[in-house]
Structure 1
């Protein structure tokens, strides 16, 4: 369905929208999200008649905070913006017995219904009911949520406390209903990973630079709850999925814990494909303390002042085996007497200056002093290389192409330190004002042992998060909440080696702008290279969040109005090539270690004569900024005692990122034949690569003076204009100022007791696009590259250049007539539209009693304007000419190479059925079992992908910019079938339990207090795509699948779809790791003689002499793409059981000791990894899986709680 059309059709569903917008305008816009919940209900007598004027008292049992309200004329009461906590409730009315409910648990963002039925009698009598099973089903709102409380996070066997990945609770989310995790990413109710906003105490903590996983979570022991909202979130939320983490605060009694968790490879198992078990000895330790602020004889903070603090440390001392291929000691001195190269028939070294033979030794006078300085980074061989045909090579000899000859154990320790501090303060005699704040700091550095004799690098991961809130209960029915917070993430590398000083000491010409610490890149066929590029880097993300909301109860309406602002900054590095400003020097473009000048690439290096070289001129880092502005209004309307209606509107304005220094540019492809480069005028015009623009036949290479009107390759000159001249804002793309997102839903209790409920709704949601998309525009025309090809000058019999010169003449950077070869990498559609999701759902739930509940839900969604990576510079379909033989002028934009553009024209569709059965903790048993059938389709993956796509789409190019349907199919992320069951069972044996309730303490210490926990996951495989690798075939004639052309322009080089063979199943008989896909189910488009395992070169074209480029297929294209499409086969599924066993020792009433052992994949079931499945139909090993997912991994721990 078209989202905009749907909005038009649905306008009649929002009769109060105008009123909401008027009220909305009264709210001060302030980006954070709510961290509270609500408790609502009805007070009735034994006949079901409403009881108005009843006094309802709500008490926070941990903090002692008391709130009071009165039931309305309709018997309704509401407690809005209540902290997620445990509560007792009392209801009193004249002529009735007092009614109370104890043990109510309110979760974050939950609307909990608690109805009170009063009995005529004396107020001295009390009717008490248990609130433990209240809320087993959702009866008030259409939203589908799932919540893990602190016990779930700590007790389920997720083994994230001492894992090599750190201690983030992100590892626990894969065990939550509605979540599908895959390769470090996860989907909430079918929403793609970047469609989820993640907050801690209301403040977002998404990585700005990549829109990736959150940068920081508090310690698991600081977490009060994790709530996932994936369906029909209310208007206060913009993204379709929300991950809301709330932290613990202090209480009226002191609580604390100390813990130690340990993982050791001795209790782990090998994984298929990894014959060596990784050595792991990891420990996590820490402690926490919370309670009232008490200063003896000075201040008693019970009921009003609370604190909470924790510390968690992680230590992983580890080493890895580094392997490298290094030259022998003799080779480094120029002696190649013990050098051989079977693949290139080495017969001695050639003097490049005379053409005579040097034999096997380079005269010392010819050795480059610059090359000699690089040799300090090369150790001598310490291990005999293994010959492919058997035998070994002594460390004094070198045989090209054999196994590494240098091994070393390199220390790569990892550790982390984390601190969380929180304080809560209530003001006023009746605690009407609450001020709280929490600060979290997480430092997770790791050491990366570089290859060769090079200093190790420290990977920096440093993050912090602050949340502060002021809540004011103006009246019982009117509450204002203000929230401010920030998230900061510092990620990069730090290396102590002075690469700048080293490079300056080499004496290279032209390498002058070395403003950051780096190292040159030297490249050989097989000999390892020292680390290159930036040795020190620092990416910094900052998010500042401001929000304000007003909750107002008026009769049967619970209104909420609010606004929020998010301000982002992203400071990070950019680059063009490996060495960038420090240079790239290639010594073996011939391949097989053959050197252009001496016959051996390493010998060419010793002479200082590269085969080709390049360097870039990057002048600064990215300094991006953006802000977002959101307003919303919503109402929870108790239309009847059994019908609740939720409706609301949300407005969003997102101007987009810009760089403070103007270090970015964009392309407008609406200008025929040339396109148009747009640069920002803020803060000033910034074009540093006029030669790049000149080689694209720019009209004005400085963006100001029109100095060129030439027609080249049949195309006029290309305009270069400022954003003001193009009518674009400083984000260099148009911005939607009319983003209105409606929400409507209801919950109808089918029976008076509320045991049956049907819930449904519809909503429009925005998808937050972060700095990853903006990053595409940076450094495009503000950075320049110079490339040089070396060769022997036939007149002088000399190389064109040798060190210290890094090039000859002006190179390609000075070539203003090399039209049609430069790439623009990358642009964003100037009519870019943030992704938008329309979502609808229908749910039926039933409370079975005794803490049991069941749910059946249908969820559907359609997302439009998803990003898609595409090459705008393409050819039309053809059956008469191969793209390989087409001239520059045949392309859409003749004077450009690849034009990588991120357009927002892709779509996704999701439909699912979800069935859930659960049981709240009662009598020692808790479980949740969820089965999901889902169908997810999209066309934003590109021609192929094997994982969840990011905000910029898949990693491969789309097949063709003019037909998005070619890549529409099953997406690889959400699985078709997914079954997840979690359980915690306290064995009913021991003192105070069903069996042995009065057993002696000594016996209870042995047989009592045992707890068993399990997580079981079964899911079908990801949908994946067999292809022919890019650079082989081009049946369409568009150039989509080619890597080169005869004329010299660069085609797209995208993977290509095969044809399907009718009637042949893609599943082979005896399907397994050695043959997962039947290759006979596919064919090479246009070539009936193709057999699996050989190249498919349909449309590869003709050489200049008229001979076919390839014998594997017809030279001419067939004017179409392969018909197999995206997601045509399923990868291997997953079956995994995690189990934990814990023993609780009750030392006394306050102190408990818990000892536990837990295992992921406890049965060590082999789960094959689709990422190691060969999907290239031209390969002889197509369909073979070479590795599996993780084997059994264990964790033991002990903790003392009080």
Structure 2
């Protein structure tokens, strides 16, 4: 039996930036018991655990001031003290090749221009609780989010010794976890807008195995298991229901996408400087699975042979509903221009106040999903002892996973972009050939012909779903044979050398994000997405009070056949693909040096081919944008407006009377963005050198210390121009090797030492038993972790060729010199590096320690006490600096690393009998 507990008054300040201190107590207790039910035949082992714990997270919002809530931004500043000028997007026009706008007079939004839905939300938004970290008001609402977890776990195992040759066992485990949605606004959130995360998590697991020995050299093991989990973001206290939506939007635009939602929360709002509002990533999932396996071990004189197989079945019943509406507001909508806007103009809360949404905003209908998959594996392994010094390891494994399938056959399978769409070219090509492209003096078709590679339109596209005779989302590679070769050579009694090679294939269920059984399937027209209409020459076409004036795209499923998703954006997986192949070579040398200490040196090479990337199949040649600049944002008549019938052209493009020139310069103008996921064109390279020292417990002292140096790189697209050039040339030279960003150096050291005080020790060997009970026999243990900083990866901007690291942390301190960094001019290709080899983020360092003692109460009864200190030295680790060039804290690190807390103490009592 054991009990863990802690008192927050013992802990250090949780966040030394905000000076916030953790408040809730925590405890954890449990017990295990083992007993024979029938002597030498039947044995029972039971474990129970229950806990109340809390996670602490120091978070912040950047909320609008009292004046800003009224539309008055006359006092809104940039970090350097200059006025943050807001511009009226309705005044957008092209001038000198760029979109220009007029500022709001006096930097004040007229009351008539404030969106009525935005006003209602602003009137009900809680107020800041501090002045902010700088003149912009950054992080002016700081809070410590404490989430209480209530958890228990019950496991029972029975072992049955049937006879001398045959034994079997079975286990049943249950766990339950519940969690609250705390109101950190102090009751000042009537619309239930606050960010809420977490979930209830319950599970059941059943496992059994049986072992039969045919003879001393032949043993068969058969096993099976079943699991079912429940992970749901259920917060009844956060539900606003249909009435809440009617209160905000009486026009009812949202009604078609409400179906199947078990809970209705406030929509998800992203206001970049103000973080997230609403229940984020609402999920509702119950995955389950089965596995079966058998292993035959056969021992010969010089061979140890293993032959086995596995079958794993996964079943999913889930939905990742997300927000019914996912609306984003950035500074760009009220900045001085639409491309290359000055980071000192525009304001996210001004964009919100007028209801001008970013084009990344959307709404989605999400039905309950079912995703199934099976994996089959077979392997044979021979450990061949050639001599007393040399052993060979020879093996072969085969695996096959057929890919995800849906019992209702709703999964998109292929988009055939080589199949011409009947009648489209004859109807559309003449329109594009005569349609003027703004003030370029050319037609849209003539501009298309100036593209560097794909110079003509492709009116192709046939959409296919899975069917009864082809149920899999992908046609998986079937020849997944994975050899294993290794050798171990003993030089002497203290030295051994090892070399090994192995090939691994990554199963589809892991490469496809691993989330398909959790409700993340792409169901195309069964789960349509409606995007906010794009800006036309810088002018918004939709506002918050009516975010989708074009109407929501209906969930029409398969009813339109090959014409599915015409006129819409499409995301689909590569159908014919090979899974990533990992070839690994390992070299190892091990030697015992002194005091039974073993040094282990290991070098690993991991080469991955067919790594998976997302590729945009419908990119306009970016060079056209660099040449014609803002002219491509001008609006022209939409040649697809009311084209054909709803059945033959169902997408949102048919409902737009005008579109920008740029949208008509895509190779497949009849579609929006075409994203092919999991395209097997990538590569990954990883090399590591690891040195480890290990000493077993001896004379009250043991330690383990390891150092690793890791270099990892993968192929990426430097920018859209490289991606476009690759797509139409199939030249992998347009992919760039880039550092994966992880810290190169890693150190982990742990140790245990008995404090040599007390009876039988160096000090106080003859002390009285009563005194020894208090001060003798204590043991100290600890684990230290160090990770070097991650490489900092930059987006498109103007940047110097080299950067000086300053290393400042905290408010108003810079991690690196920001001289020479600025926003990229409009319609200009990026030329700055993805990263700087010598510029990395803050490192991570932490020490955890334990002080413990065991008390022998009597022969069969012992009590153990432990005092555990997490972050024992009360160190502090910082997050990476902000790398968004338009952010007021660009180049600064103002927040703790994820999971960083001050020192935390907890105690434990354990009774053994």
| TM-score normalised according to structure 2 size | 0.72
Task: Identify which of 690, 694, 698 aligns with 1:918.
Answer: 694
Report 1:77-116 matches (<5 A): none
Q: Distance in 2 between matches of 1:554 and 1:1164?
A: 57
Determine if contact 2:27/2:52 at 8 Å carries over to the other structure: yes
Residue of structure 1 equivalent to 2:737: 968
Is the aligned partner of 1:432 residue 2:166? yes
Match of 1:1010? 778
Match of 1:717 in 2: 459
State the distance in 1 between where 2:369 and 2:800 align. Answer: 44
Indicate the residue corresponding to 2:441 in structure 1.
none
What secondary structure, in the 3-state scheme, does the structure 1 residue paired with 2:576 have?
coil
- In the TM superposition, residue 928 of structure 1 has moved relative to its aligned partner by 0.8
CA distance in 2 between counterparts of 1:409 and 1:976 reads 34
Matched, 1:931 2:707: yes
Answer yes or no: is the 8 Å Cα contact 1:636–1:644 preserved in 2. Answer: yes
Q: Is the 8 A contact 2:412 2:465 kept in 1?
A: no
- Is 1:309 aligned to residue 56 of structure 2? no
> What is the SS of the residue equivalent to 1:572?
strand
The Cα shift of 1:388 comes to 10
Report 1:776-815 matches (<5 A): 778-785=522-529
1:603: how far off?
Answer: 8.9
Q: Does 1:659 align with 2:406?
A: yes
Counterpart CA distance in 1 for 2:905 and 2:58 is: 22
Aligned-partner Cα distance in 1 for 2:504–2:362 = 45
| Distance across 1 between alignment mates of 2:888 and 2:863 | 58
Match of 1:893 among 661, 668, 684: 668
User: Partner of 1:857 in structure 2?
Assistant: 602
The alignment partner of 2:606 has SS state of: strand
Q: What secondary structure is seen at the aligned counterpart in 2 of 1:967?
A: strand
Question: Does residue 1:831 correspond to 2:576, yes or no?
Answer: yes
- 8 A contact 2:71–2:353 mirrored in 1: no
CA distance in 1, matches of 2:276, 2:789: 40
User: C-alpha separation between the residues in 2 aligned to 1:1141 and 1:331?
Assistant: 54
Partner of 2:479 in structure 1?
A: 738
State which of 218, 238, 242 in structure 2 corresponds to 1:500: 242
String of CA shifts for 1:818-874, please: whole Å, max 9, x gaps: x99966453222232221211111212123476432222222121112222332333
C-alpha distance after superposition, 1:31-73 (max 9, x if no partner)? xxxxxxxxxxxxxxxxxxxxxxxxxxxxxxxxxxxxxxxxxxx
SS of residue paired to 1:518: coil
Report if the CA contact (8 A) 1:525-1:591 is conserved.
no
Native 8 Å contact 1:1024 1:1128 kept in 2 = no
1:542 corresponds to which of 288, 298, 301: 288
**Paired position in structure 2 for 1:172:** none
C-alpha displacement at 1:495, in angstroms? 3.1
CA–CA distance in 1 between the matches of 2:199 and 2:498?
48
- Measured after TM superposition, the shift of residue 1123 of structure 1 is 5.5
Q: Please report how far the alpha carbon of residue 258 of structure 1 lies from its aligned counterpart in structure 2 after TM superposition.
A: 1.6
1:283 alignment partner, one of 3, 11, 26: 26
Rounded to whole Å, the distance in 1 between the matches of 2:616 and 2:211 is: 52
Offset of 1:1165 from its aligned partner?
Answer: 3.7
Does the C-alpha gap of structure 1 residues 711 and 381 become closer, same or farther in structure 2, counting only changes over 3 Å? Answer: closer
Counterpart check, 1:1175 vs 2:883: yes
| Correspondent of 2:206 among 463, 466, 475 | 466
Q: Which runs of 5+ in 2 are unaligned?
A: 77-83, 89-107, 337-348, 433-455, 633-661
What CA distance in whole angstroms lies between the structure 2 residues aligned with 1:643 and 1:991? 48
SS in 1 for 2:577: coil
CA distance in 2, matches of 1:1096, 1:781: 37
Distance 2:576 2:25 in 1: 50
Match of 2:859 in 1: 1149
> 1:337-348 maps to which residues of 2 (within 5 A)?
none
Q: What's 1:1095 paired with?
A: 823
Q: Over residues 907-957 of structure 1, what are the superposed CA-to-partner deviations in whole Å (9 max), with x where a residue is unaligned?
A: 1112222222111112211111112222222225x659xxxxxxxxxxx99
1:637 to 2:384 alignment: yes
Distance apart, 1:653 and its partner CA: 0.8
Between the aligned partners of 2:705 and 2:367, the Cα distance in structure 1 is 53
Cα deviation for residue 557 of structure 1 reads: 1.5
Q: Judging changes above 3 Å, is the alpha-carbon distance between structure 1 residues 728 and 909 closer, same or farther for their aligned structure 2 residues?
A: farther
TM-aligned CA distance change 1:761 to 1:427, over 3 Å? same
Change in 2 beyond 3 A, CA 1:424/1:579: closer
Give distance in 1, aligned partners of 2:133 and 2:759: 67
* 1:530 Cα offset (Å): 11
CA-to-aligned-CA distance 1:319-361 (integer Å, 9 cap, x gap):
9999795898x999xxx799988778999xxxxxxxxxxx999
Mapping for residues 1049-1128 of structure 1, pairs under 5 Å? 1060=801, 1066-1068=803-805, 1074-1077=813-816, 1092-1097=820-825, 1100-1101=826-827, 1122=832
Q: Alpha-carbon deviation of 1:966?
A: 4.4
SS at match of 2:783: strand
Cα distance between partner residues in 1 of 2:57 and 2:809: 34
CA distance in 1, matches of 2:350, 2:839: 45
CA–CA separation in structure 1 for the residues paired with 2:505 and 2:775: 54
2 CA distance for matches of 1:749 and 1:790?
69
Partner of 2:181: 447
Change (3 A) 1:874 1:323: closer
Per-residue displacement from partner, 1:546-596 (whole Å, max 9, x unpaired)? 111111113322111111111122333346x8434xx97999996499xxx
Count of residues paired in the alignment? 781
In structure 2, distance between residues paired with 1:558 and 1:432: 21
Q: Distance in 1 between matches of 2:526 and 2:170?
A: 46
Could you tell me whether the CA contact under 8 Å between 2:61 and 2:274 is conserved in 1? no
Structure 1 gaps, min length 5: 1-256, 295-299, 348-358, 391-400, 594-598, 677-697, 701-705, 792-798, 945-955, 1034-1057, 1080-1090, 1102-1114
Corresponding residue of 2:314: 568
| 1:1196 aligned partner | 906
Deviations 1:940-995 (A, max 9, x none): 5x659xxxxxxxxxxx999976546643132223x322222110111233224454
Tell me the secondary structure at the aligned position of residue 449 of structure 1.
Answer: coil
Q: Secondary structure at the residue paired with 1:1003?
A: helix
Partner Cα separation in structure 2 for residue 724 and residue 388 of structure 1: 53
Deviations along 1:394-435, whole A, 9 cap, x unmatched? xxxxxxx97899x89899541232324232323334253232
1:190 aligns to what? none
SS in 2 for 1:1021: coil
- Structure-2 residue corresponding to 1:1160: 870
Determine which structure has more spread, i.e. the larger CA radius of gyration: 1
Tell me how far apart the structure 2 counterparts of residues 524 and 1072 of structure 1 sit (CA, whole Å): 27
